[in-house]
Amino acid sequence: MDFVLANCTHAVLFSAKQRTLKGRSTLVRGRKQKVSVIRISNFAAEVSGSRAAASGRSDGSGESKNWQVPKSSTALELLDIERGVCIPFRKYSPETVRNKVLESRGAVLSLISRGVEIVWSLGLYWSTLMYDCFVGRDEEVVPFRAQQLRNLLCNLGPSFIKAGQVLANRPDIIREDYMNELCILQDDVPPFPNEVAFNIIEEELGRPLEAVFSKISSRTIAAASLGQVYRATLRDSGEDVAIKVQRPKIEPIIYQDLFLFRTLASFLNGISLQKLGCNAELIVDEFGEKLLEELDYTLEARNLEDFLENFKNDPTVKIPRVYKQLSGSRVLVMEWIDGIRCTDPQAIKNAGIDVDGFLTVGVSAALRQLLEFGLFHGDPHPGNIFAMRDGRIAYVDFGNVAVLSQLNKQILIDAVVHAVNEDYAEMANDFTRLGFLAPGTDVAPIIPALEAIWQNSAGKGLSDFNFRSVTGKFNQLVYNYPIRIPERFSLVIRSLLTQEGICFTLKPNFKFLEVAYPYVAKRLLTDPNPALRERLIQVLFKDGMFQWKRLENLIVLAKENVVKMSSNPALQKNDLQGSGKVEKKLDLKDTIKDGARLFLLDAGIRRQLLLALTEDSQLHVQELVDVYRLLEDQIDVPSMALEVARDFPTVVRDLMLAWTESVLSDR
């Protein structure tokens, strides 16, 4: 891991030099990190593209990264670099798993026994698939074989149930009809006995149940691959809580299975490199890392705290509190969420909840996680999302989260910009930078396929566009080209698809992009991040021509987002209690100030804007007037003038420095 640590150090020094840190900590996930697990996501952002580095691309910071990934790097090191997340002290590594498995007496015999069980079960299943193919009935029995596979994974235990849940979101590995059947594993897992669960709770608490809880449910509220949930009441405070209990004796089985998975993967590297552009060990490492994180409920408690911190000023989102003094590695006690399941649209309507407002809140919360926080709920199936009776959206179950580095977020926004500008060659390069394609992969054959997918989907307009149709076409692309979907992005894709499905359940004619576009437009116009300013300029210029209509559309969409959110019943009701801030207008102060600064200091931008005003041998005054009319009710001119005046000395200083530098460079 010396290579990774060295590059983390490089990233810290580079980032410290490039940025002035403002506001909250930029260490991962919106809060200061614990000593036990060090994550350096934003600091390591520039390092995160071994893929960007390999192609000699710039990440938008103004410097090209020329270092190369050594061939000796392990799969786990490549995973760290690709993510932009450095984890020197981690729960998972191939060495840790091997040592854990082999440390006990009789480990070899136990491994052989488990290996025989797995090989026998999977071998029988594989032989039935081969027989179906031999007799020519492989397509007609697909539904039955998919169901057989789901039952087989359940019988093989939690590691395989979890693997099935992962495969349900990996079109690069398994075909779509099998994926749909494996999705059932997300909700339908048999529970284990109450007596066993209650004994585990008492062991973790070090006290009898009656001493802590005055009441506990006799039946499980939910059962998952790694644990199950009960409802209880605290004896001291009378508060209702949810108790998540881990399945008994699960850890040794999972470590054994991970050891066997990686051993098998080492023999499949050649096939995986040919089909996916990466070795099979990398896929197992991704899976193992997420699985062991989910196995430790203390990490889920940290995830809860991170989400609470991120949404603390958002009155439309409810995140449950965690009772850390009652929690441990196998038991998690958190606030009980008294909400309505999103699979029950009639109950939501009967509760008097505004469905349109609730859907707007849900989409905005999902996009904030993805593009703003970089910490994304990775498993938002209908059992994990609730509608509160005051219109808020509530999330539960934070064991599975996706962590995106600052660079990942910027590249995602780049991909959106390239899609808007119909720059499919750059969109293909974005895939390489995000880790979907191996460095050096020829993207030329992929460009026409991307163009066909996007144009066929976007050409239908907002009314018919949905992520499921785009994902279905993308799955075909993944199946035909050496594309690997990194684990974090498979979680993002699954999350967006699941939440879009929830939206359709509540409102069949819901238009996801009609909510998503205004949010993205608002972010491009108002976000203080300088990187987004650059993306805004890219959006507004196409082939050197200023897109006046696109600017007007962005303003209209951004205003629409502000109106929808400020008039949302959930936001208004909760804001009255002082829990958040309602934005009534677009906050364009930073955008206007930065625009004025760019116009004065950047000769290239100044030339482009002046050309935009005189394109086609005519003065575009009317376009300026139209833009002003769209903004006149959003801008307080006196306060804006005061802001510009305050910034004037700094602008003059920068002008003088730029002039001096140009004079000296000429000489």
Catalytic residues: 379
Structure token digits, residue 280: 């099979």
Burial-class residue 634 by CB neighbours within 10 Å (0-12, 13-18, 19+). Answer: middle
Termini Cα distance of the chain: 48
Contact 312, 570 (CB under 8 A): no
Burial-class residue 301 by CB neighbours within 10 Å (0-12, 13-18, 19+). Answer: buried
DSSP 382: G
Residues in the chain: 667
DSSP 372: I
Determine the Cα–Cα distance for residues 537 and 417; give it in Å rounded to an integer. Answer: 10
Beta bridge partners of 67: none
Chain centroid offset of residue 58 CA: 23
Structure token digits, residue 289: 């890392």
Measuring CA to CA, which residue among 367, 107, 401, 369 is closest to residue 260?
Answer: 107
Determine the Cα–Cα distance for residues 230 and 223; give it in Å rounded to an integer. Answer: 9
Q: Which residue has the tokens 């091997």?
A: 98
Question: Phi and psi (nearest 5°) for 19?
Answer: -120, 155
Contact 202, 243 (CB under 8 A): no
Determine the Cα–Cα distance for residues 122 and 118; give it in Å rounded to an integer. Answer: 6
| Strand 545-546 with 541-542, pairing | antiparallel
From residue 40, alpha-carbon distances to 9, 11, 54, 65 in Å are 10, 9, 21, 18
Beta bridge partners of 394: 318, 386
Measuring CA to CA, which residue among 283, 284, 317, 324 is closest to residue 300?
Answer: 324
Q: At what angle do helices 487-506 and 280-295 cross, to 10 degrees?
A: 60
Burial-class residue 231 by CB neighbours within 10 Å (0-12, 13-18, 19+). Answer: middle
